[in-house]
Amino acid sequence: MASQAEGPPPPLGETIEEPGIQQNGVDLNQEQQPNTHLQGWALVSLVIAFMAICFVLALDNTILATAIPQITSDFKSLNDIGWYGSSYLIAQMAMLPTCGRLYAFYNIKWVYCISLIIFEVGSVISAVAPNSMALIIGRAVSGVGAAGLVSGTTTILSYCVPLKKQAKLSPVILGLYSTGSAIGPLVGGSITDSKTLSWRFIFWLNLPFGAIGLVLIWISLRDPPPAVKGDLSWRVKIRQLDILGATLLLGATSCLNLALQWGGIVYPWSNPKVFGCLLGFGLLLISFVDLQARGKETATVPLRILRGRTVVASCCFMMLVQVAIVLHSYYWPIYFQSVRNNSARDSGIFLLPIIVSNSLGTLCAGWISSKSGHYVPLMWIGAPILAVGGGLYQLVHSQSPRGHWVPIQIASGLGYGMCSQMPILAVQVVLDKTDVPTGLVIIMFFQMLGGALAPSIGQNLFTDTLLRMLNAIDGIDGAAVVAVGAGEFRRIVPPELLEVVIDAFNSALKKVFWVALATPALAWLVSWAMEWRQIPNTKERTTEDPEVVSLRNL
């Protein structure tokens, strides 16, 4: 490729032009927009920046899980467990397609840096939050910034790094992402248990990594390549951003989350507020689908791509298994801290089996699918294993030894790792090359949707079951126990009733893990709708659209 031009590397921030690649199916030569590849220290700075940012994004995804019991105790907000995770994911999910299109219309350096600043502002709001609502708002703001960072990383790589180097650099960046995901619960637990720090430091921790990334991005992209569609009028840009679609989607998912968290707990399911949320969800969803149908190719989710059964099955499969793994990630720490009375740090350590086995399952599945060329069998195998992990929790109790719950976590992580990447491969196999980037964004969209709904579903089941069981115990005020939080209820429960209350917590958790069994079981049924296709073993697949490569690897 032209990136291997003769002569010494250019100085920091300078680029080498290379025409002829495509972005979102548009040939840059036709758009009169030359592509540029970074060289030398500019490329090194860009990679280090992405490593720092991907690390903090991964850390942010998992670090909060072990701190949630303490947060609920500080804010007396056990009813808000679902919002701490779902507010971040809903905002990220709704804004991901719109943020992705911003990079086609405007200066990529400015869009990325502004996204990073928004993410950091959300972290500051969360760190100084005086109450639960402020924390939820901060998480939502961070989610908007994260949407811009996720889509921007893939786009900037496709603009500025040649394909051969992408293949070498992506594993390096991915390695930092995996590391951040793995150590997140341990770091979160250690910070929460610290005598000098509190859970608020979890959010302050994002600032130095963001600052490093911001400075390096600014230096390395001193002369960024022009936007692919930067010459369009501002009216056309606004229309193609589909801001209305993102707003409708954000409103629909928020209404559904409110209904799931209120129904049967704060209000009866027949309450007008709950019914109104469900009605709002339905109307907003219908409006969103109608808008996408009329928008055709400028829509956030082009319905044309969803006509193939493999794409639809892949989206449903990804959403269902994501619900299961998020429930595992959020509610195992609740078990360790509320049922077993472990510290937040220990609960982070005890969560490592599911995280490590997830990584190993992903690596093994990638090797098997690349060697065999088949991905559907891994969906058939992985989803039932994940379901078994959810089902086996029914055997767990307050005195369960490690030999019981460690294998359960390993099964869950291994099953998810084996099957979770297969829909991404399937979309690339069945779609035309120009449709693959959009198809991958849709898959990511449904993955985030599952992750956003899971905490709310879990919270509804957990809190409803816990309240009913606690209110049935003489001498226990169920509302007071729930209000004080999962980490502090032992202070207000009489010693002679403590064991009964602990059993109530464990029984409520078992209800949640029934969902972690049901959703992968449904995913297994959905996987039978997949077309039996094989991954092409041709050179063409190794020279695919750079955005496809970067989206898949990230």
Report whether pLDDT(30) > 50.
no
pLDDT of residue 17: 40
Read off the pLDDT of each residue in 355-377 and give the average, rounded to a whole number: 84
Q: What is the mean pLDDT of the chain?
A: 80
Query: Given pLDDT bands bounded at 50, 70 and 90, which one contains residue 390?
Result: very high
Instruction: State in words which class domain 305-554 has.
Output: mainly alpha
Distance CA 450, CA 324 (A): 9
Percent of the chain clearing pLDDT 90 (strictly above): 22
pTM, two decimal places:
0.75
Report whether pLDDT(29) > 50.
no
**Do residues 415 and 382 make contact, with C-beta atoms less than 8 angstroms apart?**
yes
pLDDT of residue 174: 65
Distance CA 75, CA 482 (A): 12
Q: Which residues contact 496 (CB under 8 A, 6 or more apart)?
A: none
Distance CA 119, CA 142 (A): 4
Helix axes 546-553, 163-193, angle to 10 degrees: 30
User: Which amino acid type is present at position 552?
Assistant: R
> Is 265 or 200 the better-scoring residue by pLDDT?
200
- The 10s digit of each residue's pLDDT in 471-515 is 888 888 888 887 777 767 888 888 888 889 889 999 999 999 999
pLDDT of residue 105: 81
Dihedral (Cα; 225, 211, 444, 63), 10-degree rounding? 170
pLDDT of residue 14: 39
Read off the pLDDT of each residue in 360-370 and give the average, rounded to a whole number: 83
> Is 544 or 338 the better-scoring residue by pLDDT?
338
Percent of the chain clearing pLDDT 70 (strictly above): 84
First to last CA, the chain: 23
pLDDT of residue 175: 61
- The 10s digit of each residue's pLDDT in 84-109 is 877 888 888 888 878 877 887 888 88
Query: Given pLDDT bands bounded at 50, 70 and 90, which one contains residue 315?
Result: very high
Other CB atoms within a 10 A radius of the CB of residue 34 amount to 14
Most confidently modeled range among 24-28, 197-201, 314-318, 353-357:
314-318
Give the CA angle between residues 63, 65, 68 to the nearest 5°.
Answer: 115
Which two three-digit tokens encode residue 113? 């840096």
Q: Which residues contact 462 (CB under 8 A, 6 or more apart)?
A: 81, 331, 334, 508, 509, 511, 512
Read off the pLDDT of each residue in 338-344 and give the average, rounded to a whole number: 85
> Is 168 or 481 the better-scoring residue by pLDDT?
481
Report whether pLDDT(238) > 80.
no
pLDDT of residue 219: 87
Report whether pLDDT(172) > 80.
no
> Is 223 or 140 the better-scoring residue by pLDDT?
140
Query: Given pLDDT bands bounded at 50, 70 and 90, which one contains residue 297?
Result: low
Query: Given pLDDT bands bounded at 50, 70 and 90, which one contains residue 163?
Result: low
Please determine, looking at this structure, whether the domain spanning 11-18+32-239 carries the CATH number 3.20.10.10.
no
pLDDT of residue 114: 94
> Is 176 or 426 the better-scoring residue by pLDDT?
426
Most confidently modeled range among 34-38, 153-157, 250-254:
250-254
Report whether pLDDT(24) > 80.
no
Cβ burial, residue 86 (10 Å; 0-12/13-18/19+): buried
Which two three-digit tokens encode residue 529? 């709708």
pLDDT of residue 230: 64
303: helix, strand or coil: coil
Other CB atoms within a 10 A radius of the CB of residue 496 amount to 8
